[in-house]
Structure 1
């Protein structure tokens, strides 16, 4: 006989925990985020989460199908944080730039969670709402559907890829992170012009830039490329319409 599925509402713990709080989906996600920040991905287990919540580890499974289900919930929560209180301006390029920075910042606020979740696809409400918004901005700007999907794909993957890269740097132990940052000054800036002329010529610029995220630059390059494509398509469409009007006009004069 198949195992009876307990309705979701009946699975929820209604009694207060040892800490005096009634658990909710949101409280568990918030606690998991804190544990990731303090202990990293290896420190996030059902047992430790239960202890942090003041409940038995099995309580977690009243709210989530398993720890991977919790990871997907964390990923969706980060999208929710990115989209919170966002309002469109009507300028598609400014709106996408703002959304991109919001997504990037939301993940960097939780670097351990970012490394764990940024490569996942959840299909959950906040993620879906974000995708709907981004595609709506692109289609509303006049991009054909195929181009809207192509640019959306590049936009979201760029944002999440940099989120993982930059979050991984932030998640390093402080000593390791600082040692990496010093390499640009202690190694690259000291390379001789005779053997490394290009690095030597640009060394001050490398020292000034390379410890900062390249995401803003990469995002602007992507948006500039998309804007140029949209302008070229509009110009081509205008030329075609102009040529069509000329043909119709010429035919009329010939009659």
Structure 2
């Protein structure tokens, strides 16, 4: 009688990524993944010690893919911007995995490549070495948060989007000008959170890089 198939780590990660594309990180479980593969959870724990370790490995594959073919070009700001946009595009194709990265981070080869490039670019900015770890952390939090937020918007259905837009219009255009004078004044110009996120991403990142540039200038 043939034994149960043994799955490789890469095959397990392929299946996990596919499962996450059609569900979300909250409902993901090793048991559900094992059922998808037609095996039991214990066989998966031989490859990954925990659910969190498995999720981190899935997220790291996205980082690794985003760095494939990357070449550091231009000044330090262009390098960080180009890298951030590559990460945004990579997670934009797999938005369910963006929340995994934002929550669990990763510690594999992809993560090391991203960290090395950002830290190298920050050193090229002229910042003193003692300031670079803090600036790196702020950039990492900012980029991960923006990507996770944008990915969250991209996963809503058309009906959910329409309902959200209607609620936004009611909340903003229907605001009592006596109680909310500033909101009433800007009501027709305020954009909902889901609007124009691409430009917002680049503007927010550019502002952070400008702050770093100012800090790097000799006093």
* TM-score, L = length of structure 2: 0.82
The answer to whether residue 204 in structure 2 is matched with residue 221 in structure 1 is no
Q: 1:80 to 1:182 in 2, by over 3 A?
A: farther
Give the number of equivalent residue pairs.
214
Q: CA deviation at 1:182?
A: 2.9
* Cα deviation, residue 99, structure 1: 1.2
Deviation at 1:143, TM superposition (A): 1.7
Verify: 1:210 aligned to 2:196, yes or no.
no
Alignment partners' CA distance in 1, 2:51 and 2:194: 34
Counterpart of 2:36 (choices 52, 64, 67) is 52
Shift of 1:131: 0.7
1:160 deviates by 1.0
Task: Give 3-state SS (helix, strand or coil) of 1:41's partner.
Answer: coil
Match of 1:93 among 77, 80, 84: 77
Match of 2:53 in 1: 69
CA deviation after TM superposition for structure 1 residue 16, in Å: 9.0
Unaligned runs of 5+ in 2: none
DSSP-derived class of the 2:189 partner: helix
2: CA distance, partners of 1:174 / 1:167: 15
Higher mean alpha-carbon deviation, 217-226 vs 96-105, is at 96-105
Structure 1 170/142 Cα, relative in aligned 2: closer, same or farther at 3 Å?
same
Query: What's 1:164 paired with?
Result: 148
CA RMSD of aligned residues (A): 2.6
Q: Deviations over 1:67-107 (max 9, x none)?
A: 22211211212221332221111311111111122223333
Q: 2:99–2:148: 8 Å Cα contact kept in structure 1?
A: yes
Higher relative contact order (CA 8 A, sep 6+): 2
Runs of 5+ consecutive residues of structure 1 not aligned to the other structure: 1-14, 237-255
Aligned counterpart, 1:200: 184
Deviation at 1:148, TM superposition (A): 2.1
Is 1:188 paired with 2:172?
yes
Equivalents in 2 of 1:78, 1:173: separation in Å?
24
In structure 2, C-alpha distance between the alignment counterparts of 1:94 and 1:184, rounded to whole Å: 36
| SS class of match (2:72) | coil
Match of 2:117 in 1: 133
Task: For residue 111 of structure 1, report the CA deviation from its aligned partner.
Answer: 2.9
Given that residues 184 and 210 in structure 1 are in contact (C-alpha distance below 8 angstroms), is that contact kept between their aligned partners in structure 2? no
Query: Following the alignment from structure 1 to structure 2, what is the Cα–Cα distance between the partners of residues 86 and 175?
Result: 38
Say if 2:136 is the partner of 1:152. Answer: yes
